[in-house]
């Protein structure tokens, strides 16, 4: 089935999608803007955001993208295909870097945006000892990818009669059916500085800045009840007890409610090469998304931002750009902003039109 064309008057990516909701199908318009930080104003920031060139504009993602093996790795970038999010997800895709670039046993890194903030502690390699009751001293470290793979959690399927999982982070380190099996295995390298890990028995809260998997808690319990009654009465629509908060993919400390609108101040600490703090102001963009469906009144939405992805992997400048040598850094930070709006699905897609434009 062909979807209606989007009349897109912006420099952003805009797509139509027909998605299932509790009350039936919804025609959704999803819009994504990609900006890059460059040196300059405004005051109080380390640069200003400019729209990324077309070659580096991020696509609307139809599925989660993992850091590695989809069965064993955490999520690097989340899917964009949801009908709605009640609040704004703030997600960081980053490596943490020791201040000044010198190896240290541990250091803190974090993000702040508007009223949400999160700090993590990064340590060098350390091993479990004494059946998970202690760890070796961390070795010095310069940098580490900020992934839930290196936080507390995990899954143990070694005993077919005793499946053990930390539903908050099934890909982490520290969970075992037999704690004696942890000896001399890697311990978590990312933790909450307010609750440092001392023993595997304490089952501390996993710490991170990235995406919570859709089958992890707390998202898992919010998808609703998929039982025989759902199969007979509801499928393929979501169950009646589906909670829209299941669509929120950020760590709970980085979910902003009320949603962000742009213009908020933020900062990243020890999440760019050589460490230090990078301040920024989120781009201020307002959109009008208009739906025109035959036989209905036009519906116009000015949505808030529902997803912010702060990607601190540097953007390399191509050799052809201004004669710069390969590997020169163009920007220390890219940001994705996502907006969406939806209406009840039309009887026929040819009866629908969508227009997206910036609100002046």
* Torsion, Cα of 90, 93, 108, 117 (10° steps): 0
Which parts of the chain fold into alpha helices (H)?
Answer: 228-233
Q: What pLDDT is attached to residue 331? A: 73
Give the pair of three-digit tokens for residue 178: 């037999």
pLDDT of 336 reads 97
**pLDDT tens-digit readout, 89-128:** 999 999 999 999 999 999 999 999 999 999 999 999 999 9
Cα–Cα distance measured from residue 32 to residue 11, given in angstroms and rounded to the nearest whole number? 9
Low-confidence ranges of the chain (pLDDT < 70): 1, 40-45, 314-330
Distance CA 265, CA 253 (A): 17
d(CA 64, CA 61): 7
pLDDT of residue 325: 47
pLDDT of 117 reads 98
């Amino acid at each position: 089935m062909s979807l209606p064309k989007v009349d897109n008057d912006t420099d952003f990516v805009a797509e139509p999608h027909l998605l299932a909701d509790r009350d039936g199908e919804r025609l959704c318009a999803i819009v994504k803007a990609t900006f890059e930080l460059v040196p300059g104003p405004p005051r109080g920031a380390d640069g200003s955001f400019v729209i990324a060139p077309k070659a580096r504009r991020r696509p609307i993602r139809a599925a989660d993208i993992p850091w590695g093996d989809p069965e064993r790795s955490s999520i690097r970038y989340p899917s964009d295909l949801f009908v709605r999010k009640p609040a704004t997800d703030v997600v960081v895709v980053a490596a943490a870097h020791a201040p000044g670039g010198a190896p240290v046993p541990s250091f803190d890194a974090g993000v702040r945006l508007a009223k949400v903030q999160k700090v993590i502690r990064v340590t060098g390699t350390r091993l479990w000892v004494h059946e998970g009751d202690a760890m070796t001293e961390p070795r010095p470290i310069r940098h580490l990818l900020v992934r839930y793979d290196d936080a507390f959690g995990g899954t143990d399927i070694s005993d077919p009669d005793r499946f053990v999982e930390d539903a908050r982070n099934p890909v982490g380190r520290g969970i075992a059916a037999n704690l004696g099996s942890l000896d001399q295995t890697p311990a978590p390298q990312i933790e909450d500085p307010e609750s440092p890990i001392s023993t595997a028995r304490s089952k501390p809260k996993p710490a991170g800045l990235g995406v919570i998997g859709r089958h992890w808690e707390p998202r898992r319990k919010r998808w609703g009840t998929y039982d025989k009654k759902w199969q007979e009465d509801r499928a393929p629509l979501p169950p009646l007890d589906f909670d829209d908060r299941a669509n929120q993919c950020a760590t709970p400390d980085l979910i902003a409610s009320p949603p962000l609108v742009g213009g908020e101040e933020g900062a990243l600490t020890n999440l760019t090469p050589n460490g230090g703090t990078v301040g920024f102001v989120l781009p201020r963009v307002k959109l009008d998304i208009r739906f025109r469906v035959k036989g209905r009144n036009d519906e116009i939405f000015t949505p808030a931002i529902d997803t912010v992805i702060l990607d601190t992997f540097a953007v390399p400048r191509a050799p052809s750009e201004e004669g710069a040598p390969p590997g020169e850094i163009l920007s220390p930070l890219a940001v994705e902003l996502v907006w969406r709006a939806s209406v009840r699905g039309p009887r026929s897609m040819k009866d629908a039109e969508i227009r997206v434009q910036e609100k002046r």
